Structure 1
Amino acid sequence: MSAYSDGEFEKRLANLKDSQKEIQSISTWLVHHRAHSRAVIKVWYKSFKSIDKSRKLTFMYLANDVVQNSRRKGPEYVKEYAIILQKIFHHLASLNLEEKIKQSLGRLINIWGERQIFEKTLLQSVEKLWSQKTKSSLDTSSDSLKSSTPRRKSSGPSSAQIDAERRKSDIDIDEMLESPLRKLNQSQEDSNTSISRLLLEDSTTLLSPRLGSPGSGDPPEPEELILALQNLENAASSDAEVREKIAKLPPEVSEIAKLETITSATQGKALLVQVEEASSLLKDYNARLQEELKERKRVGNMVSEFLSAQRELLAQAEERLEQYYEKLEKMKNMEADLKSHIEALPDIPVLPSSGGGGLDSLPRGGDLFR
């Protein structure tokens, strides 16, 4: 899998087409390079603001695929997208989008809510913003159908107001992503807390290795490592056919003493042809062995990074297991205290019913003063 760079990502976004296969391909690449999540969001948002409005939905589908598929490996993309989610929909709300696109974006918000991708309060504010936009556009189209008189005064915003809103929405995205402690990002801190709670509560969510493993710090995927190990099975050292050819080379091509046995030019030319063929065979085989050595070093680094990440995951799992044991112990203590408290409560006798030989009726007020 190719290394990440802003230029490479911009190129992939420029060629992005509205097809599930291509969206998933770029999404897989981005999830693999989740260590660069902040740079990814900056490039994505910059391209998102500049593309034609007909391609906005495709970019949103890519963002949706990334945040959903990356949750099993870590919350990096969810955190970064949550910071700018309102800005994204403010931008979308300022555009005159087709009704079909607006409906698709509304379904996207609903999916995020159902699957708990983002924090609840954040999604509520985004949903409110988007529903107001949809409602206002419907009201505007309805009014235009009801009346076409030129004397009617338009209630919509002027072009100057629209330009001002757009300039206001163009707050530097770098500033938002680099300053998580700003007031406008206070809701994101709540989002991070909610996401962390979700990751702890969801038993299907995998742990995420922290950076610091050998090399790039970006551990390979298991499928990547398996493929690299399988490729080594076809390496030069495993090529039995070439090894057999080398083993069957005549001793004349390697032993200098054999030159003394040559008695004619014909024998010398024949030996020269054999030596050149053997030399070419050995040269090619040595080049393949050198490539294999480099590949084995690369795979060795991949294995080292993978094992380091697995050890980190194991440490996190053990830490989480210890937390669960502590919670279980607290729950057992609470259960024992509750049982003890219930057993210490006094027995409350059942009061007899008022009819049929039960308690006498209470005296009237007049009887008390006789």
Structure 2
Amino acid sequence: FQMALLTQEKITQRLQGLDEKPESIQTCSAWLLHHAKPQNLDIIFDTWLREVYREKSSKRLITLIWVANDVSQNSRKKGCEVANAFAPRIESALKHIRKNPQDDQVDKCVNRCVEVWESRRIFSREQLVRFESALGLKRTASQPSTSLLPESPEKAVQKPPQFDNEKMSQLERATREMAEVLRRLEKAPSSDEKIRTKLAQFPESTGNASYLQHVRNEKEARSILERTKEAAPLCKEYCDSLANEVLDRRNLQNHLNEVLDTVKLITTRNNTIIEELKKREKTMKNHLDQVERAYDSLPDFSEMELDFQHTNLPSLKDLFN
């Protein structure tokens, strides 16, 4: 028995068929986890992130977040591999939500999920810090660890830039997805001359309802109807392709922002390392100067006329007399 190939279309269909009912969310989550084999993790979570990027409805966005929450919590049965693969996508989604504010319900949902993930230790400490950073949140020292407040720019403490293998993997993933989107945009539907030529060959009456006012008899009406039926599938296919192209361009912008943020982080980190190395270099030069001055202060034995072979050294008795 061979399992059917998991495709982006199947995952998208599952996610788009969601509603806010708990059983719908749990069913979708269970289906995703069932297919969460190592070779499927990228396509599952990339498709989820794609749906987050394209979603405009607050209710639908909340539903997608609850799916992520359910998948993350139940993924512990499969080890940390699923959560580690999901974490960078969740971070990207949180950044997107912050840059594209929704209503208060979305913010409450996101904050609640982050609190639950911490209290139940779904993600690592570093991953949770990234989630909070993506949302512009910080911890308060006087409150429990699950209490989060918006970060004040005036009081925010400048932390040293952090960069590790997970961040590098996130950069590689975003770069790979950008390359894939760019390859698709090389043959963008908006520049497809063939299909545009086909559509232009249909009479204007197929797309302009005002022409129906001038229909004089049944024959003309049937003629327009037949041409409209002929043009409808082609128009629908073209419109769907254009919608996907718009989504690709939007995703490309999100990936560009993600790569830019990571490159800025790398640049800041490298500049910090350079400054630290310059300080160490300056310290080493100071030490070298001190050694050279100490060396120069030593007497030059080559200019001293000493005959060590015929000169008797003083005895211990003479030294202490």
Which interval holds the TM-score relative to the shorter structure?
A: 0.3 to 0.5
Q: Which has the higher contact order (CA 8 A, sep 6+)?
A: 1
TM-score, length of structure 1 as denominator length: 0.38
**Looking at CA atoms only, which structure, 1 or 2, has the larger radius of gyration?**
1
TM-score, length of structure 2 as denominator length: 0.43
